[in-house]
Structure 1
């Protein structure tokens, strides 16, 4: 069987889903030199097959309903997306309704107000692991169920 070229590997990865430039470079690293990989990535970018902006927007759109802004920022940074690109993707998605998203996530998991401090801490840890900030967590857990309606 013939060896698969770097370009073909890149196209195969991009056909499955959008990737950030850093992600795709990491996946191609075992198959070529840094210069070869950079050339292929530049060509993919010229052909508009590779775009960190498009990747970030798709990532935020797909994950925003389940995660807070902090988690989305962290995940995109781990995938090598620049901070200004992340900020633009979060702004495009309308990330100003963090409280509403936190309420939906909390309702899906728990739905009832914490009965004691131990339960409150458990629910707070859950929301924190999803990337919601402390002020949002306090608002969600301290309100009565009738207030969110």
Structure 2
């Protein structure tokens, strides 16, 4: 007998996860695989949820982009999408749209973190590393730091 008494079904577990945020099918498979008792049971449950549009990779892509794009560059968003098992044309399209706003998003992230131009080369490197680790393109990072250094010509 298990300690918790009631054990939710795989479909119930999947619905609970989906009620918290959008998940890709791959993500759900990874999270629920340890709870599968009968081989094929998980795939059947996920097929049913996908047929009823509870699992929708397009919505999962939109969700990640919406939640993360304001803080991260296109490279990091792409990495997160790949980690969730999402790829293909919809991901490419979402990333292309992100690249159009990469400079303004990087500028806003920089402004929130630092707000004032770097005073020396060490601090400049710190500003650049900060933006690079968040997945912003190196050329965009150089432009953001250069613009901030030359009098904050923000594009408001």
TM-score (structure 1 length as normaliser): 0.91
- How many equivalent residue pairs? 148
What CA deviation, in whole Å up to 9, does each residue of 1:1-39 have, x standing for no partner? 343211111111111111111111111101115522111
Runs of 4+ in 1 over 6 A off after TM superposition: none
What CA deviation, in whole Å up to 9, does each residue of 1:41-89 have, x standing for no partner? 1111100000111011011011111111001000110111113231233
Distance 1:34 1:90, change over 3 A: farther
Which sections of structure 2, spanning at least 5 residues, go unmatched?
A: none
Q: In structure 1, the residue corresponding to 2:40 is in which secondary structure?
A: helix
Summarize the alignment of residues 1-149 of structure 1 with structure 2, pairs less than 5 Å apart.
Answer: 1-32=5-36, 33=38, 35-91=40-96, 95-143=99-147, 144-148=150-154
Separation in 1, partners of 2:39, 2:141: 44
Which sections of structure 1, spanning at least 5 residues, go unmatched?
A: none
TM-score (structure 2 length as normaliser): 0.88
Q: CA RMSD in A?
A: 1.6
